[in-house]
C-alpha cells in the first residue's frame, strides 16, 4: 500500500524516531509499504518518519543504471536500528528528499562510513561504503534523528530556500 509522504515543514519530520524492538508482521508491512511508496515517488531512499511512523527504519534502493533505472524489490537495503561505527573524510553531493519535493542542493557529508544495523528479522549486519550508498545512508539516518538535509545548508542558502519554499506552498 502506498502511504502519504510527510512534507516539509510538517513538525512530524522533527521527531526523533524510536528503536524497533519487535521484528514482527507489522514491521514487515511497514517495510513493504515504504518500498511501494518510494518507488511510486521515484525516490532512492525513505525513512519511516516520512510516512509518519517514528521508528528507526529506513530503506535505500539505488536505481540500476544498466537496467533503465530499475529498482527491483530484492535490491532494497532495509536498515533497522542503525548505529555508526566509523565515519571518515568528507565529500559534497547534490541531495534531494521526497519530503522536500523538487528541491536539490549540495550537502557536505562524510566520505566513508561503517555502520551496524538489523534486518527485518532482527539479524545484525555490518555495512561499509564510500560512495553514493554512504551518502544516502547519512541522509536517511538524519531523518531518524529529526533532521532534514536543508538544515545542513549555509545560512544564505537556507534563507533563500525558505523564501522560495513558502512561495511554492502558497500556490
Catalytic machinery residues: 140
Stretch that binds Co ion, among 8-16, 91-99, 115-123, 156-164 (CB under 5 A): 91-99
- Please report whether residue 97 would count as binding Co ion according to CB under 5 A: yes
Q: Is 123 helix (H, G, I), strand (E, B) or coil?
A: coil
Count, residues near Co ion per rule CB under 5 A = 1
Q: What's the closest the beta carbon of residue 34 comes to Co ion, in angstroms?
A: 12
C-beta atoms surrounding 114 within 10 Å: 15
Return the C-alpha cell found at 42.
521515484
CA-CA distances (angstroms) from residue 159 to 8, 21, 116, 152, 163? 15, 39, 36, 12, 6
Position 144 contacts Co ion (CB under 5 A)? no
Cell 514487515: give the residue.
Answer: 28
User: With respect to Co ion, which residue has the nearer C-beta, 3 or 122?
Assistant: 3
Please state the closest distance from residue 74 (CB atom) to Co ion, in A: 23
Backbone angles phi, psi at 31, to 5 degrees: -65, -45
Within 20-79, the residues that bind Co ion by CB under 5 A are none
Binding residues for Co ion, rule: CB under 5 A, are 97
Amino acid at each position: 500500500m502506498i502511504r502519504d509522504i510527510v512534507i516539509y515543514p510538517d513538525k512530524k519530520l522533527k521527531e526523533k524516531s524510536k528503536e524497533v524492538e519487535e521484528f514482527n508482521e507489522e514491521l514487515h508491512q511497514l517495510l513493504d509499504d515504504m518500498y511501494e511508496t518510494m518507488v511510486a515517488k521515484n525516490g532512492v531512499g525513505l525513512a519511516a518518519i516520512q510516512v509518519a511512523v517514528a521508528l528507526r527504519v529506513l530503506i535505500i534502493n539505488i536505481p540500476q543504471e544498466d537496467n533503465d533505472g530499475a529498482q527491483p524489490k530484492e535490491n532494497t537495503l532495509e536498515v533497522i536500528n542503525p548505529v555508526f561505527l566509523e565515519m571518515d573524510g568528507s565529500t559534497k553531493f547534490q541531495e534531494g528528499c521526497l519530503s522536500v519535493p523538487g528541491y536539490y542542493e549540495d550537502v557536505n557529508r562524510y566520505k566513508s562510513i561503517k555502520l551496524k544495523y538489523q534486518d527485518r528479522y532482527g539479524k545484525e549486519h555490518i555495512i561499509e561504503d564510500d560512495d553514493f550508498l554512504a551518502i544516502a545512508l547519512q541522509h536517511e539516518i538524519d531523518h531518524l534523528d529529526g533532521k532534514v538535509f536543508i538544515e545542513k545548508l549555509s545560512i544564505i542558502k537556507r534563507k533563500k530556500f525558505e523564501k522560495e519554499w513558502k512561495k511554492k506552498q502558497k500556490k
